[in-house]
Amino acid sequence: MVRTIYLIAAIAMLLLPAIVLAQSDTAIVQTPAAIAAPDPPAPPTNVVVADNPNDNGHSLRVQWTPSADDSTGRAIVMGYRIYRATSPDAPDSLWVERGSVARGTHAYVDRGSRDPASAAFIPKATDLYYRVDAVSADAAGRSAVAVGQAHDNWFNTKRVIVLIFVIIFVLLTIAFINAAKSGRTLYVRPLAGIDAVDEAIGRATEMGRPILYVLGLGTASDIATIASFSVLGRVAKKVAEYQTPILVPCYDPIVLTVAEETVKTGYSDAGRPDDFKPDSVYFVTQSQFAYVAAVNGTMLRERPATNVYLGKFYAESLLLAETGAVAGSIQIAGTDEIAQLPFFVVACDYTLIGEELYAASVYLNREPILMGTLKAQDWAKGVVILTILIGLAIRAASSKEFMAILFQVES
C-alpha cells in the first residue's frame, strides 16, 4: 500500500513540471490573440500655429482644441506631445518632438534659439509645420498638420501700462521743473537722516577723526550707487571745508574711478583741491566678505567718527553696521534693498528707507530743478495710491465675495 502511494507520488512529481510547462506554453500562444490592438484617443482638433507675440521672432505659439477623450469621453488622454517638421509630408523620422504638456492644456509656446548653429533654432519668416499628438497609456492620436511663421515684433504690448505711466511721470517731472524754475516754492518734508549728515561731519571735525563713506556692493550702473555719488559729492565738499579726512573704500573698480572724481570735485568746489589725498578713495576687492573684513578692519583701526552707508547692500549690511556700532561711530545708512533695511534700522542711528536714498541728493543741493523731480515723485506716488484705491473700489462693487477675499488670511 505504501509502495503504491510512493509510486503515485513519484509519477505526479515527474508529471508536474510537464503540466506547468504545457500551461505556460498555452498562455504564451494565447497572448497575442487575447490582447486587443491599442485604441488611440481622439486627436486634438483646430490646431493653429501663430507667431508668438512680444518676442524676438524666434518662437511660435501652437494652440489646439483638446481631444474629445481628454477629460470627457473615455478620459484616457495623459497629455499632448508637440512635433515640428519643415515639410507637411515629412516622414515620421523627421518630425522632432518640441515639447509635451499635461492633459487639459490647449497651448504650447515653442521657444527657439536665434543661433542658427543651435538645434533649437527657429528661423524667421519660414514655414514650419506642427502637429499635436494626444497621448494615452499605449497609443497616440495624431492631429492634422498646421503651418505658421515666426516674425519680429516691434512693440511689447505687455508693457503698454508701463509706457503710459512713464509718460505721465515724465510730464509731471517737466511740469514741476518748470514750476520750480519760475520761482514757486516747493515744500518737501525734512529727512532726519539727511539733516544728520552735516551734524555728523561737524562731530567728526571736533573729534579729529575721519568719516568713512561706503558705497556698497553696487556697480556704477546701479541707480542706488549713482544716488550715493551725489551725496558723496556733497559730503566731500563739506569735509574739505572742515578739513576732516574722508575714507572711501570701494568694491567695484568703475565705482572707484567715479568716486575718486566725485571726491576731487568736492574738494575743488570747496576751494581746496590740493587737500585731496588720492589714497583716501581706494579699491579693496571684489570679494564680498573680504571687502567686509577690510572695511571692518578700517573701522576698528581708524575709529571713524561717522560711517555713511549709502548704495546697494546685501548680506554684509549687518556685519558692517554692527562693527560700526561697536566702534562707537554715528551711522547713517540708506539702501533700496528691502531685505537689508531692517538691519540698518536696528544698527544705525539714521536710515534712509528706499526712495529717501534717491531724494537725498535733492535735499542736500536744494536746486530748483532737482526739487521739481522730487515733487513729481510724490505726485506719482499719489497717482499710484489713487489707482490702487479706484481698483479696489471697482472690485468691491463688482464682486460680493471680494470683501471676504480681501480680509482672508491663508493658514
Partner 1 sequence: MKRQLPLLVVFLAGVFMVIQYFVPAEFSEKAYEFLIDWTIIIGIFALALGIWSLIRVSYHKIKTKQEGYFYSYVALAGLFGMILFGFTFMGGLESYMFTHFFDHIMIPIQSTMFSLLAFFIASAAYRAFRARSVLSSVLLIAAFILMARVIPMGPLSDAVTVVSNWILLVPNLAAKRAIWIGVGLGIVATALKVVLGIERSYLGRD
62 vs 29, 44, 102, 317, 326, CA distance in Å? 45, 12, 14, 48, 62
Interface with partner 1 (CB under 8 A), residue from 74, 181, 366, 381: 381
**Interatomic CA distance for residues 249 and 212, integer angstroms:** 8
366 binds partner 1, rule: CB under 8 A: no
351 binds partner 1, rule: CB under 8 A: no
Residue 23 or 411 with smaller CB distance to partner 1: 411
- Please give the size of the binding site for partner 1, defined by CB under 8 A: 90
**How many other CB atoms are found less than 10 A from the CB of residue 173?**
19
**Interatomic CA distance for residues 331 and 312, integer angstroms:** 16
6 binds partner 1, rule: CB under 8 A: no
Question: Which listed range, 18-26, 36-44, 53-61, 305-313, lies at the site for partner 1 (CB under 8 A)?
Answer: 53-61
Which residues in 87-146 contact partner 1 (CB under 8 A)?
114, 124
Cell of 284: 579693496
Which residues in 194-233 contact partner 1 (CB under 8 A)?
219-221, 223, 226-227, 229-230, 232-233
Interface with partner 1 (CB under 8 A), residue from 166, 167, 390, 393: 166
Which residues in 226-245 contact partner 1 (CB under 8 A)?
226-227, 229-230, 232-233
Residues 6+ apart with CB under 8 A from 181: 368, 369, 372
Q: Which of these, 223, 196, 218, 192, lies nearest to 377 by C-alpha position?
A: 223
349 binds partner 1, rule: CB under 8 A: no
Largest interatomic CA distance in the chain: 131
Interface with partner 1 (CB under 8 A), residue from 25, 127, 138, 261: 261
Interface with partner 1 (CB under 8 A), residue from 198, 241, 322, 349: 322
Residue 330 or 359 with smaller CB distance to partner 1: 359
295 binds partner 1, rule: CB under 8 A: no
Note whether 204 and 211 are within 8 A (CB). Answer: yes
In the three-class reduction of DSSP (H, G, I as helix; E, B as strand; rest coil), residue 286 is classed as coil
> Per residue in 151-165, is it b (16+ CB within 10 Å) or e — as a string?
beeeeeeeeeeeeee
State in angstroms the smallest separation of the CB of 304 from partner 1.
Answer: 14
